[in-house]
Chain A
Amino acid sequence: MPKDGGIGASNKRREDVRFLTGKGRYTDDINIHGQAYAYFLRSDVAHGTINSVDTSAASAMDGVVGILTGADFEGVGSIPCGWQVTDRFGEVMQEPAHPVLAQGKVRHVGDPIAMVIAESLEQARTAAEAIEVDISELPAVVDMKEALKDGATKVHDDLTSNLCYDWGFVEENRDAVDEAIKGADHVTTLELVNQRLVANPMEPRVAVGDYNAGTDDSTLYTTSQNPHVIRLLMGAFVLGIPEHKLRVVAPDVGGGFGTKIFHYAEEAACTFAAKRVGRPVKWTASRSEAFMSDAHGRDHVTKIELAMDKDGNFLALRTDTHANMGAYLSTFAPSVPTWLHGTLMAGNYKTPLIYVNVKAVFTNTVPVDAYRGAGRPEATFQLERVIDKAAREMGMDPIKLRRKNFVTEFPYATPVAVEYDTGDYHATMDKLEEIIDRKGFAARRAESEKNGKLRGLGINCYIEACGIAPSNLVGQLGARAGLYESATVRVNATGGVVVMTGSHSHGQGHETSFPQVIAEMIGIDPSMVEIVHGDTANTPMGMGTYGSRSLAVGGSAMVKAAEKVINKAKKIAAHLMEASEGDIELKDGAFTVAGTDKSVAWGDVTLAAYVPHNYPLEEIEPGLEETAFYDPANFTYPAGAYSCEVEVDPETGKVTIERFAAADDFGNIVNPMIVDGQVHGGLAQGIGQALLENCAYDDDGQLLSGSYMDYAMPRADDVPFYDVDHSCQTPCTHNPLGVKGCGEAGAIGSPPSVVNAVVDALQSAGHKDVYHIDMPLTPSRVWSAMNGG
């Protein structure tokens, strides 16, 4: 393993030292002199009319600094939604207001009603108990199909119904898809649930608001994946603070997985309250609060139909999905079941006709938004499950059926609007078959059966669209933001490099991997490169980290800025060596003149840039610092083939993951160790969804899984060692590093592997009517499936 190398080296992570010694600096570790503590009083009913909120007794209690209610926020804006979807009739989605604190009604358990600010958290909490809230409870709308029925209680009285939008894609294909399905030799149909999940980064959300009355500047410290996005949304749309008077800092962040992309009410409330009470205001979520206030993920109910000819060639695909939005539209919620889901329905296959219908629905539940994969896991799950069922119905090998339909020529324009630039799906499947020793499965199954267990093998493919995203395209699709990324590369006089990036690292290891790229370009040691991120005061405007975009988009911006720096440095080197600029080459940290033995070190050139005594001042400015913005030309398309082997205990229905293998194509790779780690984590989250996790509500809208006592997080003994491989590499054709992104793959590809494997195990024991079990595959559900339940 190369040590402290450039691109391709598994450099150890430099950030680890602070995390391993307790010196990380997370938002909750920040304490500002004079700070007060906030506690949010939240609704304990799912739906109700607020008759009154009496804070008089609470206000008089010990330590109380101030109490804010919805009325205090009437002059500020609504929490904005960042994406406007247009429905299949050409109408824009229904978009309700989302007040910072509830006004008039509460719409989900956890909806904040009042904010108590006190000298200590305990005092704030005690005072909150003395607030008298009078709510007339209303019927709660929980089930999506019930919510769409005529006469259903409306979550928002000013909307025409609980339907946010009815989206059809590609609408022009609707009739052709219907015809193709009608005339096909075989149609496989599957109805399934992609259950609601909670992202659960281990660090709960925290916000610290600070206001400087002397300068009229506001600062928010927050647990965010994208501080500039928060500055934009909160400053421009909620609080009316211009960017130059608002700083947002996201220091070390303890995991995100999507749920820390969004702008949350507590961020605006703490920033607003700091100015109102004249004190810094800190709020730290408890885990119970996180369960009822972090945006949730998934929650789709789908019917999918796959039409084939008699040989198993895919002819058409039709899907009908209900997608839960929860009570309000979270930042990117409308885009998840539409443009991040419908566009992926082709999968790895050349299905010529596809129609996707999505009805997004308001309910009295916590808002739903992007969670690791966001739309793509939902697309992959339904597609790979229906193909597995089709293989059984057609009597075909599931791998052969997939291979028969693989896209093999690139670029490939899918019938769902995206163009795959490159890929090799046979290669990843070949690699997977090699890793898993498929031929040995029969013997392993026999061994399991000898021990009274059923054994199943599940295989599937996935593709995702990452490196989000071309701004002009997403603008047409309803995004209210651009999705470029930025970087400033600052070279100091003595040759060290500081990269200020709009990307944000919250576990991905940017502080280690980004310097490897710069080190490779210049030929210096990575330790000479420092990464600055997470503070709007010292990084250029960027859109942050999600959708596996950090390296593909943020890394590309960094490369562009570094190229500008190097081009300027070459001009300086040419001057110093009295050579022509076109003859200058940079290698191993030195500039040379082609065809000569002339050479000048990197550090001599950087010094000349800042001490310009012998310098072409009439041609170029002193200094060595450049900024670049990179807007991607296309998405990137990581893809792969996954496999899971399970044992099922027929007595109890308990599923054990025996083996899990992933063969991914991420294009070029900067740090293989970090890439492996990203895949491992994604796999555990996908296995968690498949076997354990379920965010459950009762019919009254009470959150049943509101803590780690009720929501089953994957633990170390729920998962095996994983076999991961990323040796199949078809480099992305449209970004400078040829990288595709790896952050979400594991979570996207693994749920169907597990379910396919369990169904295979049950089928092997003669349960021929079991084609599907809804996740999570708890012992109860698996046992019921085996016993006619």
Chain B
Amino acid sequence: MTKVSMTVNGKSVSGNVEGRTLLSAFLREDLKLTGTHVGCDTSQCGACVVHVNGEAVKACTMLAGEADGADVTTIEGMANDDGSLNAIQQAFQDHHGLQCGFCTPGMVMSAASLLKDNPKPSEGEIREYLEGNICRCTGYHNIVKAIMAASGQDVSAIAAE
């Protein structure tokens, strides 16, 4: 067992982990931050995306030990300080960008990362960026629409609710 320390959602945390413990497991099992989901075992689905030092990372591709000293943000750390939904989260609700909610944390974390680098992405740029996030419920229509809306673009011309 090795001791790891990191900052998660602004709080200093530490724990003892095996060398093989994944960051996703450390977040879920040790820190009880169960908003980070695990939907596959080949790093394809993206349900576990978190931010590590500001970059979107699939938490199942990183060992907890590798995140020692890092600044980690999970879905639990995304809301505004007053607890209200942030702009991306609110856009997902406004535009019905989620159904079962299981892929949602990863989608929101990926969307935040995209908008940080590309504040006004086109539809095509959003679809391409979400290559690593699988959603089985929404058919992506309202996810793409929500991300466009979150970036301040007018989505009223896009079909449906």
Contact = CB atoms under 8 A, between A and B. Distances in A.
A201 interface: yes
B33 interface: yes
B96 A707 contact: no
Interface in A661-702: 672-674, 676-677, 680-685
Contacts of B104: 19-20
B98 A20 contact: yes
Contacts of A25: 34
B123 A721 contact: yes
Contact of A708 (B44, B108, B123, B126): B44
A179 interface: no
A717 to B, nearest CB: 4
B159 A722 contact: yes
A249 interface: no
A507 B137 contact: yes
A508 interface: yes
A244 interface: no
A685 B39 CA distance: 18
B161 A203 contact: no
Interface string B1-20: 00000000000000000101
Given A21-B85, A203-B37, A288-B41, A717 B128 contact: yes
B64 interface: no
Contacts of A1: 161
Contacts of B143: 716
Given A716-B126, A716-B127, A721-B123, A24 B101 contact: yes
A288 B41 CA distance: 7
A713 B134 contact: yes
A7 to B, nearest CB: 16
A257 interface: yes
Contact of B136 (A23, A255, A677): A255
A431 interface: no
A683 B138 CA distance: 9
Contact of A254 (B37, B74, B75, B131): B37
Given A202-B103, A723-B159, A20 B85 contact: yes
A724 B96 CA distance: 15
A513 to B, nearest CB: 12
Given A16-B92, A746-B139, A22 B131 contact: no
A717 B37 contact: no
Contact of B161 (A200, A673, A709): A673
Contacts of A12: 93-94, 96
Of B28, B76, B100, most A-chain CB atoms within 10 Å:
B100
A20 B80 CA distance: 12
A122 interface: yes
Interface string A14-38: 0111111111111011000000000
Interface in B133-161: 133-145, 158-161
Contacts of A708: 40, 42, 44-45, 134
A717 B100 CA distance: 21
A202 B100 contact: yes
Contacts of A28: 28, 34, 38
B47 interface: yes
Contacts of A20: 75, 85, 89, 92-93, 98, 101, 104, 108
B93 A287 contact: no
Secondary structure dominating the interface of B: loop
Of B34, B36, B85, B160, most A-chain CB atoms within 10 Å:
B160
A715 B136 contact: no
A286 B101 contact: no
A10 interface: yes
A252 B141 contact: no
Contacts of A508: 99
A621 B101 CA distance: 42
A322 B49 CA distance: 42
B85 A724 contact: no
A677 B99 contact: yes
Contacts of B127: 715-717
Interface residues on A, range: 35 or more
Given A202-B102, A253-B100, A23 B44 contact: no
A717 B131 contact: yes
A16 B93 contact: yes
A549 interface: no
A24 B39 contact: no
B59 interface: no
A21 B93 contact: no
A240 to B, nearest CB: 33
Contact of A721 (B36, B99, B141): B141
Given A254-B101, A717-B131, A204 B144 contact: no
Of B85, B96, B103, most A-chain CB atoms within 10 Å:
B96
Nearest to B18: A122
Contacts of A254: 37, 39, 100-103
A506 interface: yes
Contacts of B74: 22
B99 A21 contact: no
Interface in B85-119: 85, 89, 92-94, 96, 98-105, 108
Contacts of B94: 12
A721 B159 contact: yes
A433 to B, nearest CB: 16
Interface in A484-525: 506-509
A201 B158 CA distance: 27
A677 B96 contact: yes
A25 B98 CA distance: 15
B92 to A, nearest CB: 6
B36 A22 contact: yes
A719 B137 CA distance: 13
Nearest to A30: B34
B58 to A, nearest CB: 12
B99 to A, nearest CB: 4
A666 B143 CA distance: 24
Interface in A254-303: 254-255, 257, 286-288
30 contacts: A12-B93, A13-B98, A16-B98, A19-B98, A19-B101, A19-B105, A20-B85, A21-B35, A22-B75, A23-B35, A25-B34, A26-B34, A28-B34, A122-B18, A202-B102, A202-B135, A254-B39, A257-B136, A287-B41, A507-B100, A509-B99, A672-B161, A681-B136, A707-B42, A707-B44, A714-B139, A716-B131, A716-B140, A721-B141, A721-B145
Interface of B: 18, 20, 28, 33-42, 44-45, 47, 74-76, 78-79, 85, 89, 92-94, 96, 98-105, 108, 123-124, 126-128, 130-131, 133-145, 158-161
Top-6 shortest CB links A-B: A22-B35, A19-B101, A254-B102, A684-B139, A507-B100, A708-B44
Given A13-B96, A680-B160, A724-B159, 10 more contacts: A20-B92, A20-B101, A20-B108, A122-B18, A201-B136, A254-B103, A286-B41, A716-B126, A722-B141, A746-B139
